[in-house]
Amino acid sequence: MAGNTYRQLLRSREFCALWVGNALGVASTTMAGLTLATIVYAQTGSAFLTAVAMFGPSTVQLVGALTLMSAADTARPRIVLVIAAVCMAGAHALQAAFDLDAVARVLVLLGASYVLSIGSGTRWGLLSQVLARDAYALGRSAMNLSVGVMQVVGFAAGGALVLILDPRAILWIGAGLAALAIPVAWFGIGDRPARRSGRVGIRETWQGHRALWQLTSVRPLVVALCVPNGLIAGCEALFVPYAGSGAGPLFVAAALGMLAGDVVVGRLLPSWARRRVGVWLSLGLAVPFLIFVSRPGVPVAAGLVAIASVGFAATLAQQELLVELTPPAMVGQVLGADSALRVTAQGLAAVLAGVLAEVLGAAAAITVLAAASVTVSGILFPALRRLTRPAQDHRPDLITSRA
C-alpha cells in the first residue's frame, strides 16, 4: 500500500484498524493507569507503589522483549493483537469488579502489560507489512500523533472523571475502550501468517536477539534510538524541579515540538531527505538544553524545549532504516525490542536525572544530561551517516526458519 498523505494511509483497512486499535489502547491504559494510581495511593499512601502502578507497565515491556518477543514474528499477528486487547480489557474489568488490595492490583496490571509488550512488537512488525517501504515513516508518524493525542485525552478525561465518578466506574470505561479494540483487530486485520516459523519461547527470542546483534548496521541504530532520546527524557523529568508551578508550559512546548517534528519529517520530507536530516536532528534534540546552564526563564525555556523536541522526529528516519536493514522475518521482534528498550532507557534516565538534580540542582543536571546526549550522538554520527547510503545488506541469511 503506497501513499504520501495521512488520508491515503487511512484508506487502507488494515492500517486504519492498527491506528484505531492503538488509539483505543492508549486512551484505555492512560485513563485507567491514572485512576489505578489514585486508588493505590488512597489504599496505601505509598509513593513507591503509586509510581509502580503509574509507570511499572512501561518497565515490564523490557521483560517482554527479553523473554517472549519472538511471538511478534512467530505467531499470527491478528491473534496476538486480539489476545493483547482481551488481556487489557480483562485486567481493567477485574480491577473494577473486585475489591483487590494494592499489591494485587499492581500485579494484575503488570501481567496484562507484559502481554501488551508482545502486542507492541506485533503491531510495529505488521505495520511494515501493511505499508509500502516508502510509506513506513509516514505511518509511524500517524501512529505517533494518535498516541500523543490519546495520552492528552486520556489524562485529561481520567483527571476530570476521578473528581465526579467512582474510580471503579472509570476502570469500567477503560475496560470498555480496550474491549472495542478486540473487534477492530479481528475484523480489520487480515488473517496473515506468521513472518517466520518457530516456537514461541525464551530460547527463540534470545536466538533472534543474538542474530540481530550480529548485524553491524542494526547496533548503532538501536543505540541511537534509545540512549540520546532517553537522556533527553531525563531532562524532561526535571521540568517541575526546574520551573515549579511554571512547568506546565514546558510540557506543552515539548508536546508541540514533537508534534511539529512528526508532521514535518514524517509527512513532508521524502525518504532521502528524512535520512539526511535525521542524523542532525539527534544532535538538535540535545543542543538547546545546553542553554539551561544559564537558567533561562520559563518563556525562553519553553521556546528552547519546543525547538529541541522537534529532534525526536529523528526516530522516524532511524526506525525506517531499522525496518530496511532488518531481515523481514525479524521485523516484529526488533521493533518490539526497540520500543521496550527506549521506554526503559527513558525510565533509567529519569532516575539518573533525579540523582543528579539532588547533587547539582535541576538546571545543572539538565545541562549534564544534554551534554551526554550530544556526546553519544556525536560518537554515533559517522556510523549513522554511513547507513544513509543506499544498497545496504539486509543479510536475511542470518535468520533460519525452524518448524
The residue from 189, 224, 254 where one domain ends is 189
Residues 174 and 258 in one domain: no
8 A C-beta contact, residue 154 and residue 31: yes
Note whether residue 205 is domain-resident.
no
Closest of 212, 223, 235 to residue 378, by C-alpha? 223
With bands split at pLDDT 50, 70 and 90, how would you rate the model's confidence at 44? Answer: confident
**Residues in CB range of 81: below 8 A, 6 or more apart:** 21, 119, 122, 123, 126, 181, 185, 189
Given this model, what pLDDT does residue 3 score?
Answer: 45
- 181 φ, ψ (degrees, to nearest 5): -70, -15
- 295 φ, ψ (degrees, to nearest 5): 55, 60
Residues 230 and 150 in one domain: no
Residues 298 and 252 in one domain: yes
Note whether residue 225 is domain-resident.
yes
Residues 146 and 63 in one domain: yes
pLDDT digit string, tens, across residues 313-331:
888 888 888 888 877 777 8
Note whether residue 403 is domain-resident.
no
Q: State the Cα–Cα distance between residues 267 and 4, nearest whole angstrom.
A: 7
Given this model, what pLDDT does residue 375 score?
Answer: 95
Q: How many folded domains does the chain comprise?
A: 2
Given this model, what pLDDT does residue 179 score?
Answer: 95
Given this model, what pLDDT does residue 55 score?
Answer: 63
Residues 119 and 265 in one domain: no
The residue from 173, 189, 205 where one domain ends is 189
Given this model, what pLDDT does residue 391 score?
Answer: 45
pLDDT digit string, tens, across residues 286-316:
999 999 999 999 899 999 999 999 999 888 8
Length, in residues, of the chain = 403
Question: Is the pLDDT assigned to residue 402 strictly greater than 50?
Answer: no
Residues 258 and 117 in one domain: no
Residues 174 and 254 in one domain: no
Given this model, what pLDDT does residue 155 score?
Answer: 65
Q: How many helices (H) and strands (E) does the chain have?
A: 17, 0
Residues 164 and 293 in one domain: no
Given this model, what pLDDT does residue 399 score?
Answer: 39
pLDDT digit string, tens, across residues 234-264:
888 888 788 877 777 887 788 888 888 888 8
Quote the pTM value: 0.74
Closest of 300, 225, 314 to residue 262, by C-alpha? 314
pLDDT digit string, tens, across residues 325-351:
877 777 888 887 787 788 888 878 887
Note whether residue 254 is domain-resident.
yes
With bands split at pLDDT 50, 70 and 90, how would you rate the model's confidence at 4? Answer: low
Note whether residue 348 is domain-resident.
yes
Residues 178 and 220 in one domain: no
Cα angle value 49/53/54 (rounded, 5°): 120
Given this model, what pLDDT does residue 400 score?
Answer: 37
Question: Is the pLDDT assigned to residue 398 strictly greater than 50?
Answer: no
Q: State the Cα–Cα distance between residues 64 and 286, nearest whole angstrom.
A: 30
Structural domain including 260 reads 215-389
Question: Is the pLDDT assigned to residue 26 strictly greater than 70?
Answer: yes
In this predicted structure, which of 56-65, 141-150, 385-394 has the lowest mean pLDDT? 385-394
8 A C-beta contact, residue 343 and residue 59: yes
Please state the rounded mean pLDDT for residues 213-230: 83
Note whether residue 400 is domain-resident.
no
Note whether residue 366 is domain-resident.
yes
pLDDT digit string, tens, across residues 146-199:
777 776 777 677 767 777 888 888 899 999 999 999 999 999 999 898 887 766
8 A C-beta contact, residue 357 and residue 200: no
SS3 282: helix
Residues 229 and 369 in one domain: yes
Query: In Å, how far are 247, 248, 350 from 244, measured between CA atoms?
Result: 6, 9, 17
User: Which of the two residues, 232 and 1, has the higher pLDDT score?
Assistant: 232
**Residues in CB range of 214: below 8 A, 6 or more apart:** 398
Residues 326 and 384 in one domain: yes
pLDDT digit string, tens, across residues 87-142:
999 999 999 999 888 888 888 988 888 888 888 888 988 988 888 877 888 888 88
8 A C-beta contact, residue 335 and residue 121: yes
DSSP 194: P
Q: CATH number of the domain that 356 lies in? A: 1.20.1250.20
Dihedral angle sign, alpha carbons of residues 240, 243, 244, 250: negative
**Residues in CB range of 172: below 8 A, 6 or more apart:** 92, 93, 96
Residues 90 and 184 in one domain: yes
Q: Which of 42-46, 68-72, 134-138, 284-288 has the highest mean pLDDT?
A: 284-288
Question: Is the pLDDT assigned to residue 392 strictly greater than 70?
Answer: no
Note whether residue 394 is domain-resident.
no
User: Which of the two residues, 12 and 53, has the higher pLDDT score?
Assistant: 12
Q: State the Cα–Cα distance between residues 127 and 331, nearest whole angstrom.
A: 10
Given this model, what pLDDT does residue 292 score?
Answer: 94
The per-residue pLDDT of the chain, averaged, comes to 82
With bands split at pLDDT 50, 70 and 90, how would you rate the model's confidence at 363? Answer: very high
Residue located via cell numbers 542532525: 280
Given this model, what pLDDT does residue 200 score?
Answer: 65
Given this model, what pLDDT does residue 376 score?
Answer: 93
The residue from 155, 189, 223 where one domain ends is 189
